[in-house]
Chain A
């Protein structure tokens, strides 16, 4: 122990992480409503429109709907409720 000292750990206390399952997946997107969630990051609107066009061209049986939260980087429970109510899946982007 000669020359050794004891110091404090400077880190805070992280929350316990509870494992959560992913939502059940679909067998197919055909005939389903897939929400394209424009997360409002600059240019994500254009990205989502391109994504919508890609589905229209390549997978026309998928019913895509573009939707936006009320604010960037803020949860929007009303939007989520709408997606959960009449959507089968969601693609979100671009940005965290």
Chain B
């Protein structure tokens, strides 16, 4: 849609073609682009995975929304004269008031539910008093602009200030002292409510002294519902993403087919003191005394296991080859596992190198993947390495699927079991598969 809007701006008439499940989204995007009468055309879902004959049938069939012959819709989109509405477009402002009209708590909770301003778990109503108390968690002025968020590329970005973040922090049940972490997350520009059809979540890892200041739990149940700070900070990232980006409504601003439980909350802290290795944020160039939050986009798959046992290499190879090849892993391991690898002579860096070397698939399998086809293949065709080499590989050749820089390790857990997990977690912002990346670790101390 973004390309179509831009081409219309350049004077080129367009007929954007979508599948019918995107009809509401296409309408909303057209409206937000000031061109509500964009001449969208629709074929049935799915396009992915169907034969050329089926696609030809779509083309020769009827528009999946209007019911008119599809190609007539396309040709009309490019040739029918402009109406007044086509010429005028739509100019409007959408104000969001600072305060809502007074009402009873029960009615207000219902209003928040009806407007999808919640995650459908109970919220703390953001009264003026509670928001004032929350704002005491930072020295920054309430009207300082924190950042912008949007559910995906080509959607409009909404802006927000410190007070708006505080409002959502109250709703999540956070304490005022958590606010700097939540502000740092909000400032990242990374939504925890991506509209991707793949149902991504956003995982957050806390490093540095703030872990202890806030009483975070990196022991037993570190990734579970056993700590107010991690539970509510992760939840706040989700709520603020929903409300500060302009919604996360299925069919309009959220298109994840399966959804993702990790979207409720997915925040944990690293057990820095019990890890044999440098903390994650130090790997990224921060000082040990810095407090940071690092964001990982994904949370789609999870592989789990014990280790390192005698057969750990086979286990890791099986796990790594089973991962979605577009989404590199964030490997989270108990300190027992990390120390076990250290005793085997593996530093964190050496283990990551081993994983990258041994995470392999047949080239045929690697390329037979929706996300790889959509997002990586263009880079391979453009000659960008290592994707070009992967594209040239014989279909039966076992090719590396991750680069060392794609793989990350964080240590946490209570040492009741030598357990590890591999989560889908892409630690990067920017063009997918390109070198144009920004590492999303944010210094919390800037938001105190």
Contacts and interface: CB of A to CB of B under 8 A. Distances in A.
B261 interface: no
A72 to B, nearest CB: 5
A20 B431 contact: no
Contacts of B246: 11-12, 14
Contacts of B96: 9, 11-14
B49 A43 contact: yes
A21 B89 contact: yes
A22 B30 CA distance: 11
A96 B255 CA distance: 11
Interface string B120-164: 000001111001000000000000000001001110111111011
Contacts of B99: 6-9
A29 interface: yes
B131 to A, nearest CB: 5
Contact of A41 (B34, B47, B167): B47
Contacts of A6: 99-100, 102, 127-128
Interface string A53-96: 11000100000000011111111100011011001111111111
A92 B243 contact: no
Residue among A34, A70, A89 with most chain B CB within 10 A: A89
B278 interface: no
B285 interface: no
Interface size class of B (residues with CB under 8 A): 35 or more
Contacts of B108: 5, 7
B18 interface: yes
Given A10-B164, A42-B373, A94 B13 contact: no
A84 B12 contact: yes
Contact of B71 (A44, A54, A84, A96): A54
B12 A72 contact: no
B7 interface: yes
Contact of B104 (A3, A41, A70, A88): A3
Interface of B: 1-4, 6-19, 22, 25-26, 29, 31-35, 37-39, 43, 47-50, 52, 55-56, 58-60, 71, 74-75, 78-82, 86-94, 96-100, 102-105, 108, 112, 117, 125-128, 131, 149, 152-154, 156-161, 163-164, 167-168, 171, 239, 243-246, 370, 373-375, 377-379, 382, 431-434
10 contacts: A7-B99, A8-B98, A8-B167, A17-B93, A21-B87, A25-B78, A43-B49, A51-B59, A73-B432, A92-B16
